[in-house]
Amino acid sequence: MFESLAPLDPFLDDLNDPSAELEREPDPEPLDDEAKRMVLEDLHDLDEFQSLLEPRGVRGICMECAGCEEMHYYEWEIMRSNLLNMLAHHQAHVHEPPFNPKPEEFVSWDYANGYADAVIELSSDE
């Protein structure tokens, strides 16, 4: 599934592939049981966040990148794809960011989590 989402390799089956000379990074270590449990929990939370927030116009999750210190915006399906790829291949899937995202249409994971907790608490009070 994830291979179909990846960009095409322009040098696929090319004997003169210039990347053949590059030093390859080692494959990522498999996730341990605790890390797998956390990713599965995140997938469950993401489903809940989407069901609560998408009808209110929220398109996904935003988070600050530690590497470039810029905000990154992930639509629901891209975030889900990244989490599923973590389970299958032990690393996040490479993706294209949304073109010209509207920051007001995205919320942080912490905001989404707090929103879901509040909805659950309100519905349990009824």
Q: What is the pLDDT along the chain (126 residues), one digit of tens a residue?
A: 455 666 777 878 888 887 777 777 777 788 999 999 999 999 999 999 999 999 999 999 999 887 778 888 999 998 999 899 889 887 776 665 667 889 999 999 999 999 999 998 988 876
Quote the pTM value: 0.75
Type of residue at 123: S
Q: Locate tokens 């960011």: which residue?
A: 97
Contact 39, 83 (CB under 8 A): yes
- Rounded Cα–Cα distance for residues 99 and 119 (Å): 31
Q: What is the DSSP letter of 102?
A: -
